[in-house]
Each structure stands twice: as C-alpha cells, then as structure tokens.
Amino acid sequence: MDFFSPNTKLYDIISSNPKFLHLLSRFGIALGFGDHSVKEVCESNHVSTDLFLLICKVYADDSYIPQLADFEHFDMDGLLPYLLQSHRYYMDERFPHLEEHLSHIIKAAQPKYAKLLERFYDEYQSEVDKHFKYEEDTVFPYIEALRAGKSDKHFRIAEFKRNHSNIEDTLDDLMNILLKYLPGDILPKERIEISYDIMELSVDLVLHTRIEERVLIPYVEFLENKKS
C-alpha cells in the first residue's frame, strides 16, 4: 500500500518526519486525533483528504509532480487558506522569534557590528513583507476571483511565476554572517541556537515555495486554461 494513502494512520505520516508536524496547524487539524486514518481525521476536521495527501507527497519528494487530472477531481478549496496559514506562522511566530534572538546579539555587539546587523535584518524583513503582501493582496485575490468564475484582464499567474522571488537565500546569508564572519566573541551560544532556527525555517520556506510552484501555479494555470 502506498504510504501516503487515505487509509494510512495519520500519526504514522506525521511522526515519520518533523516537517509534517507543520501540516496539523496549517490545515487546522485538532490534536487528539487518536489512531484514526488520514481520511477519518481529515473528514472530521473538514479538510480535503486529497489535498492533504497531495501536499504530503510534495513535501516528501522533491521530484513529485501533481497530475493535471488531480486538479479536476480534487477539492482544492483548502489550498489558499493553507498557504495563508503558513504566512501567518512565519510572520507572527518564526520571524519575531528570530528577531528576538538577533536583538540579543545586536545588543551584545559593538555599535559598528550592531548597526550592520540591524540594517541587514531590517532590509530583509521589508523584503519578506513585500513578498507576502504581494501574494496576499494581488495573487490570492486574483485566484479567488478566478475560482468564482470572474476574469481579470490585467493579471495572469505567469506574471507571479516570473517574479516569484525566493526569500530563503538572504536567510542563509544571515547564517553565513553569524557563523563565519562576525567576530567569535559575541554571544557564540546564542548564535549557534539561532542558526538551528534559521536552518529549520529555511527548510520550511523551501517547502512552502515548492508548494506554490508545484501545486499553486499549475493549479491556477489549469483554471486559466479551462476558462479560455
């Protein structure tokens, strides 16, 4: 039997790799799901089993490509809320956490380094804000409208596809700076800890981008083609 199937125990999937833990809150699946199957838990939480498993497969396998037929048959209603939930998690939890850590390092560093780090992080934050804001204010509403059968002459998902920047590169740069280039005596323990967080967040952001590129964009292209 395929591991990512409706009859697999949800717990078996979630516990197979820490990255699947994120799926619970993003899909709004309540804890205490016992030993029920994916299908049972999804149904009682009003989550599309097909969509849940599709996301699992893309998370698990970096070469997995969804079939166009999937979009025809799957209930895709939960995709945008899932992506929005991910954004909230990054903006409301991960980045503030990172910032908190970083502020300790900034406080401990000489003014020269402090200013550098502060500026670097501020610039990064505004880049991230812009990235998510563009998706939430322009791309997602377009998709909602398209799903509702309305068309927009001025926007096509191809535009998003072209401009989709990656926000994990600068995060990796931050880790390079913290581990390799900042003088060794400034809060080394905290710098190692923050690097753990950065690596974890970076992996999660890569998966997030993969979902947008492998699922969201092809899905919207499918909708656009169907309409025209």
Positions in the binding site for other proteins (CB under 8 A): 62-63, 65, 112-113, 115-117, 119-120, 123-124, 169-170, 172-174, 176-177, 180-182
Q: CB of residue 100 vs other proteins: minimum separation in angstroms?
A: 20
Q: CB of residue 124 vs other proteins: minimum separation in angstroms?
A: 7
Residue closer to other proteins by CB (options 25, 125) is 125
Residue closer to other proteins by CB (options 31, 162) is 162
Of 99, 110, 86, 92, residue with least CA distance to 185? 110
Q: CB of residue 158 vs other proteins: minimum separation in angstroms?
A: 12
Q: What are phi and psi of 30, to 5 degrees?
A: -75, 145
Q: CB of residue 222 vs other proteins: minimum separation in angstroms?
A: 14
Contact (Cβ atoms closer than 8 angstroms) between residue 205 and residue 90: yes
What ranges in the chain are assigned the alpha helix state H?
A: 10-14, 21-26, 38-44, 49-60, 68-73, 79-89, 95-108, 111-134, 140-147, 157-163, 168-176, 188-211, 217-227
Residue closer to other proteins by CB (options 35, 123) is 123
